[in-house]
A and B are shown apart, each in its own frame.
Chain A
Amino acid sequence: MENKDVIIIGGGPAGLAAAVQLYKLGITNILILEREKHLGGILRQCIHDGFGLQRFCESLSGPEYAQRFIDEVRELNIPYMTEVTVTEVTAGRKVTAISRRGVMEFQAKAVALTMGCRERTRGAISIPGTRPAGVYTAGVAQSYMNLANIMPGQEVVILGSGDIGLIMARRLTLEGAHVKAVFEVQPYPSGLPRNIEQCLNDYEIPLFLSHTVVDVKGHSRLEGVTVAQVDEQYRPIPGTEQEYNCDTLILSVGLIPENELSLGAGLTLDSRTKGAVVDEDYQTSCTGIFAAGNVLQVHDLVDFVSIEAERMALSIQECFLSSQFGNAEIEIVVDASISYSVPQKTTGKKDFTLSLRPKRPGRNCTVFVKQENVTIARKKFAKVLPAEMIQLAIPAERIDPEKKLEITLI
């Protein structure tokens, strides 16, 4: 059993940023464990540009964005292992990992969970119909096309307007596939407006809001889908069904934090984010286990993933320095206008950034953070979208440790 100060699980954008930051803060007895052959995580297959505008003030592709951090990891000689799969994390921060070289066990002072997220599947949203070949989630199709040099299909229908789905609509079109339409069950798109513009509108791919796939046809390979309009309760409206012949159905219906290891460690998960419940230090319900990036909450921009991971690294350092691992007791609750907040609790002793996602699109809204009738923070937004995370600073000095924080968007 090897002892480490910090074991970082996952060498994607969150894990890399956390490692670099920890190292720069003087915490060097660390190790990144990555299951893939290369560092970089999902960015390796996100070959489109638009990454890094916040952080590097230039528009990079995913692999380039990742490489900037990988280069830092290499320059600093930060230890990492690839092709290693972590199979267990205990509440006592024992980490078991498997590789071709054998079974490895580590005892860590702190564990940073940076495993990212996975895609929601057909089964999770109960799409009826047959089970032919040709139904792919957007990320799987992206991996086939951009990493494996494999073309999944020719006549394509996309369900869900998540960003990966939009990006794949353009990618498939550029490679000669015919993307017939994108259907979104919500009355508003779930991807970023710029992606609607440059991935759909540019290629005259129609987007139908309040529509969903109600049947999948084909015995061997997909032959077509039936699409229908839905009402406010997302129920298909009889009589609105339309048939689309296609050999490929791409699903871009949401991302879910990948928390299999977190569950094993017995962490408390938030049923809304599907990630761990954390305090302002990004510490989970298990002392010494931290989480950041898409494993904590699904972000829309990788730049924010990096920032969150760096904040987590800073918190880990502070905990190490003070030998105090916080015990947050002040609850942070959101009302019906907001899908969720991160963190979900705070010690009230530190300034922090609150991330949240509005439930519905809105204009000229203000986020209020209150304790009973006292507003301790507020921020105005010209436009809010569920596709875009909102962040605001919360000053610790104004927090009353006896009362919970209540957040609303008006």
Chain B
Amino acid sequence: MRREYTCIICPIGCDMTAEIEDNEMVSLVGNNCAKGRVYVQQELTNPIRTIATSVLVKGGELPLASVRLNKPVPKASLFKVMAEAKKVILLAPVRIGQVALQNVAGTGADLVVTKHVDAIH
């Protein structure tokens, strides 16, 4: 079976065509680099994604701090990640790189802060 993929690893977004038999990739054309092959392989076995969202900050100059997953998680668990992120409340100040939530929804990935939020004076 032939299947089309658009690589999401970088902004080039290669259009790739994979020949698939029994959920195994037999051949792949269209990828400009090796990452494309890894991506298709991953899509076949267990599609993974990273997402970004926000968490509440108490006492900050901004109401929210942006966060993102520090590594991709199975696509199926994205809404579980969101449900967990909604419960997080950080105390200002928060700094980029600070872990907002460890091992979020049991995925092994952490939610990491991506914006400095100073405390309100």
Contact = CB atoms under 8 A, between A and B. Distances in A.
- Are A and B genuine complex partners? yes
Contact of A146 (B54, B68, B96): B54
A334 interface: no
Interface residues of B, number: 29
Given A61-B66, A174-B82, A194-B8, A48 B49 contact: no
Nearest to B69: A49
Contact of B6 (A44, A50, A149, A194): A194
B24 interface: no
Contacts of B50: 49, 59
A49 B52 contact: yes
A60 B69 CA distance: 11
B77 interface: no
Contacts of B63: 148-149
Contacts of A300: 11
B36 to A, nearest CB: 12
Contacts of A44: 115
A147 B96 contact: no
A149 B64 contact: yes
Given A63-B114, A146-B66, A193-B13, A47 B8 contact: no
A174 B115 contact: no
Interface string B60-84: 0011101010000001001100100
B51 interface: yes
Interface in B16-71: 32, 49-54, 56, 62-64, 66, 68
A149 B54 contact: yes
A148 B62 CA distance: 8
A197 B6 CA distance: 7
Given A61-B68, A149-B63, A174 B10 contact: no
B101 interface: no
Nearest to B32: A382
Interface of B: 6-11, 13, 15, 32, 49-54, 56, 62-64, 66, 68, 75, 78-79, 82, 96, 114-116
10 contacts: A44-B115, A47-B52, A47-B54, A50-B11, A64-B114, A194-B11, A194-B13, A196-B6, A197-B8, A198-B49
Q: What 9 pairs across the A-B complex have the smallest Cβ distances?
A: A193-B13, A47-B66, A63-B115, A149-B63, A61-B114, A194-B13, A194-B8, A197-B6, A193-B6
